[in-house]
Amino acid sequence: MALAKCELCGRLFNSYGLKVCRVCTDEVEKSYIKVRNFIYQNPDKKRYSVIVEETETSEKMLNYLIDSGRIVVEDIKMSGTRCKACGTITAGAAFCDKCKTKLISQKLISNNYGSEVKAQPRIKPLSSYDDYKKKED
């Protein structure tokens, strides 16, 4: 059991592999049911802004449901995804250009995603059998 920070409210909680505390888990389930029912009853209104308005679900909660793969929204590509560092809307990337540049300068992420990395030669560990064999020779 590890101590973790809730992705939604920021509280510390004992995590059993979940990223959300118990209080927020209940809220996520209620919001999921509300949004799912709205989408099923109104299949023509699957736009992000309409769902937020009609279901009175917060943008943060809807983003969590979308990011976790529980809800699919039609215009998510137009609204974009959010930067994991600062939360601004990006064009589908994990980080916005500003944060990406900052992380590259701090060398926290690699600038060359497609480049090949040469494998290091393996060092063969000696076992007691290898030592025994050397003594015989």
What is the tens place of the pLDDT at every residue in 66-102? Answer: 878 788 777 654 455 677 788 777 766 677 888 888 8
Residue 15, strand partner residues: 2
Of 64, 5, 128, 4, the closest CA to residue 52 belongs to 64
Least confidently predicted of 24-28, 93-97, 112-116, 119-123: 112-116
- H or E element at residue 79: helix 76-79
The whole-number pLDDT of residue 69 equals 77
**Total domain count for the chain?**
2
The verdict on 52 and 21 lying in the same domain is: yes
List b or e across 16-45, with b for residues whose CB sees 16 or more CB atoms inside 10 angstroms.
Answer: eeeebbeebeebbeebbebbeebbeeeeee
Report which of residues 14 and 113 the model is more confident about.
14
Does 124 fall in a domain?
Answer: no
Does 134 fall in a domain?
Answer: no
Structural domain containing residue 90 = 81-110
The verdict on 19 and 49 lying in the same domain is: yes
User: What is the total residue count of the chain?
Assistant: 137
Strand boundaries in 29-121, DSSP class E: 81-82, 89-90
Place of tokens 């409210």: 9
The verdict on 71 and 14 lying in the same domain is: yes
Residue 12, strand partner residues: 5
Report which of residues 40 and 90 the model is more confident about.
40
The whole-number pLDDT of residue 108 equals 61
Q: How confident is the model at residue 114 (pLDDT cuts 50, 70, 90)?
A: very low
Does 115 fall in a domain?
Answer: no
| Distance separating alpha carbons of residues 64 and 95, to the nearest angstrom | 16
Phi–psi pair at 58, nearest 5 degrees: -70, 155
Pairing assessment for the beta strands 12-15 and 89-90 based on DSSP bridges:
unpaired
